[in-house]
Amino acid sequence: MNKMPEFAILKVGDKEIQLPLVRGTEGDYAIDIARLRAETGMVTLDPSFMNTASCYSTITYIDGDNGILRYRGIPIEDLVKLGSFTKVAYLLVNGKLPTPEQSRNFSHLLNISSLLHEDMRHFFDHFPQGAHPMHILSTMINALAAFYPNVDLQSLSEDIDSSTARLISIVRTMAAVAYKKSIGEPVVYPRCDLKYCGNFLNMMFDSPVRPYVVRPEIERILNILFILHADHEQNCSTTAVRTVGSAQVNLYATISAGMSALSGPLHGGANQEVIKMLRLIEQDGNVDKFLKRAKDKNDPFRLMGFGHRVYKTYDPRADIIKKECHQLLETLEIRDSLLDVASEVEKAALNDEYFIERNLYPNVDFYTGIIYRAIGIPEDMFTVMFALARLPGWIAHWKEMIGHNTRIVRPRQVYIGKPRTPIF
Ligand code: SDX
C-alpha cells in the first residue's frame, strides 16, 4: 500500500488547505480538522457522527470489519477465559490487569462500598409499583451525589478509586433492591464472603423462606456476560458520559446520563426487545413475515438484536454468547423454545439478500436475553444487567476525558431555519 501522506488537501474554490492526518495504533487514519473553521470559516456536517472520531482513546479497540474487540489491547476472547468481571473492570479503569495485591484491595473496596446508605433504601418505598428499574437506577445514581463527596479534575486518585468502586458495587446493590421491592420481598444485603457476581445473584434470589445457593456455572456465565458488556469505545451511552462529563458535572450525574442513554431500545434496551420480538414470532409462527416487516421501510419494525453501527460482520460478543447460551441451557437441562426461534431467525436473516447486502448480523443483544431467562433474571432487568456491566467502561472513559483537561463538548450546526424575520 502506498505510504500515507502527512496531510489531506482540501480545495474550496481557489483556496487550498492542508489538514494533518493522524494515525491510530492499528493503522487507522483520521483527518484532524481542528483548524478547519479558522482556515475556511466552514464546519463539517456529519449527523449522528457516522464518520466522526470524537477523541483519542486508549481504552477499547474495535475492528468492525474483522469482528475484533480488545480492552486495553487484550482480546475479548482472552478476557472471557480470565473469567473475572472485577479484574476486567480494574483493567478498564486503571489501564492494566491488577496484581494479586491490587486485586485484593479492589475487592476490599467493592465490599466496603456495597452497602446502600440506609436513608437511600427508603427512596425505593416511594417509586410507583411497576416503575422500570432503569428509571429507578438512573434516579438513584444521581442521588448518590447528595450522599457522597463529588470527584472531579482536582480529586485525589484514591478518591476517584473509592468513587469508582462505590459506583460499581453500590449500583449492583441498588439493582437487587429495586428487584426485591418490585416483588414485595425483603431486601437481601450484600455478603462479604461472596464475590461480585455471586453476591448479586444472592441479593436477587435469596429469601428467608427459599435460601439461594450460588451455582458455579451461573456465577461463571454472569462474569462472562459482564465482561463482554463492560466497554465498547464511543457508543451512544459512553458518548453521553463524555459529553455530560465534559461540563465538569459530578461523576454520579455523569454516569446517570449514560444509564439514560443505554435504556433506549436501539441501544441497551434491545436485549429486552429481542425477547419480546422472539415471543411475537413464536406466537405467529411465521419468521418470513417478520423478516419482510423488518425490510419494509414503511414498517417501523426492526429485527431487534441485529445490525450494528460498527460491526459489519458477526459481533464477536454475540458469537461467544451464542455458544455459551447453548452450553448453559444444556448444563441446566433447560429447553427454551425461544432459542429455537432465535436460531431460525438468525439462519433466515443471514441467508437473506437484504441483510447480507447491509452486513446485518446478530449483535451482543441477540442471545443475551435467553441466558438471562435461564438464570431467572426478569425481563425488565435485562437492560439493568447491561448497565451494571458497562459501569467500568463509562468510568474509564470519564477518567480518560477529565484527565486530558477536555474542553466542554459543544458541536456546531448548519442552520436551515427562517432568515431574519423581525416582528416590528
Ligand atoms: C448496542 O454502538 C455500540 O457499540 C452499541 C453496543 C454497545 O456495546 O454499546 O454494541 C450495544 O446498542 C447494540 C445494538 C442494539 N440495538 C439493536 O439490536 C436494535 C436493532 N438494530 C438497529 O436499530 C440498528 O442496526 C442499530 C441501531 C444497531 C445501528 O443503526 P445504524 O448504524 O444507524 O444502522 P442504519 O440504520 O444505518 O442501517 C443501515 C441499513 C438501513 O437500511 P437502508 O436505509 O440502508 O436501506 O440497515 C438497515 C437500516 O434500515 N437496518 C436494519 C436493522 N439495522 C439496520 N433493518 C432491519 N432490522 C435491523 N435491525
- Please give the model's pTM, rounded to 2 decimal places: 0.96
Whether residue 259 is predicted with pLDDT greater than 90 in this model: the reply is yes
**Looking at the predicted structure, is the pLDDT value of residue 220 above 70?**
yes
Distance from the alpha carbon of residue 120 to the mean position of ligand 1, in angstroms: 37
309 CB within 6 A, ligand 1: yes
Check pLDDT > 80 for residue 1: no
Distance 306 CA to ligand 1 centre (A): 7
pLDDT of residue 156: 74
Pick from 2-16, 204-218, 242-256, 271-285: least confident: 2-16
Looking at residue 211, its pLDDT comes to 97
What is the whole-number distance in angstroms between the Cα of residue 197 and the centre of ligand 1?
30
Look at ligand 1, atom 55, and give the residue with the nearest C-alpha.
307
Mean pLDDT of 299-325: 96
Q: How far apart are CA 367 and CA 372, in angstroms?
A: 9
Of 308, 315, 319, 397, which is the active-site residue?
A: 308
| Portion of the chain with pLDDT greater than 70, in percent | 100
In sign, the C-alpha dihedral spanning 82, 85, 257, 249 is negative
Residue nearest to atom 28 of ligand 1 (CA): 308
Does residue 397 have its Cβ closer than 6 Å to ligand 1?
no
How wide is the angle at C-alpha 391 spanned by C-alphas 165 and 194, nearest 5°? 50
Is the C-beta atom of 111 inside 6 A of ligand 1?
no
How far away, in angstroms, is 302 Cα from ligand 1 center? Answer: 9
Q: Which of 161, 231, 365, 397 is catalytic?
A: 365
Is 365 a pocket residue for ligand 1 (Cβ < 6 Å)? yes
Respond yes or no: is residue 365 known to be catalytic: yes
Q: From the alpha carbon of 366, which atom of ligand 1 is closest? A: 18
> From the CB of 259, is ligand 1 less than 6 Å away?
no
Please name every residue paired with 70 in a beta bridge, in sequence order, or none if there are none: 61, 75
The answer to whether residue 292 scores a pLDDT higher than 80 is yes
Asked if residue 65 lies in contact with residue 405, where contact means CB atoms within 8 angstroms, the answer is: no
Instruction: State the distance from the centre of ligand 1 to the C-alpha of 307, rounded, in angstroms.
Output: 4
Question: How confident is the model over 346-371, as a mean pLDDT?
Answer: 97
Q: Is 266 near ligand 1, meaning CB less than 6 Å away?
A: yes
Ligand 1 mean position, distance from CA 406 (Å): 30
> Ligand 1: distance of its center to the CA of 51 in Å?
15
Q: Tell me, using a 6 A CB cutoff, whether residue 293 lines ligand 1.
A: no
The C-alpha cell that represents 158 in the structure block: 484514591
Active site residue 14: no
In this prediction, residues 380-404 reach a mean pLDDT of 96
In this prediction, residue 277 carries a pLDDT of: 98
270 ligand 1 Cβ < 6 A: yes
pLDDT for the residue 178: 97
Give the separation between CA 28 and CA 101, rounded to whole angstroms. Answer: 37
Residues 6 or more apart whose Cβ sits within 8 Å of residue 279 = 338
Q: Among the listed ranges 186-200, 275-289, 332-346, 397-411, which one has the minimum average pLDDT value?
A: 397-411
Q: What is the mean pLDDT of residues 87-111?
A: 97
Q: Are 74 and 90 in contact (CB under 8 A)?
A: no
What does 246-293 look like in DSSP terms, one character per residue?
TTT--HHHHHHHHHHHHTSTTTTTHHHHHHHHHHHHHHH--HHHHHHH
pLDDT of residue 158: 75
132 neighbors 262 (Cβ within 8 angstroms): no
Q: Does the beta carbon of 304 lie inside 6 Å of ligand 1?
A: yes
Report the C-alpha gap between 139 and 177 in whole angstroms.
Answer: 14
CA–CA separation, 259 vs 271, rounded Å? Answer: 15
Closest CA to 60 of 92, 106, 103: 92
pLDDT of residue 417: 97
**Confidence at residue 78, expressed as pLDDT on a 0 to 100 scale:** 98
| Residue 405, pLDDT score | 75
CA 233 to ligand 1: nearest atom: 4
Instruction: Tell me what the pLDDT averaged over the chain comes to.
Output: 95
Tell me: pLDDT of 153 over 90.
Answer: no
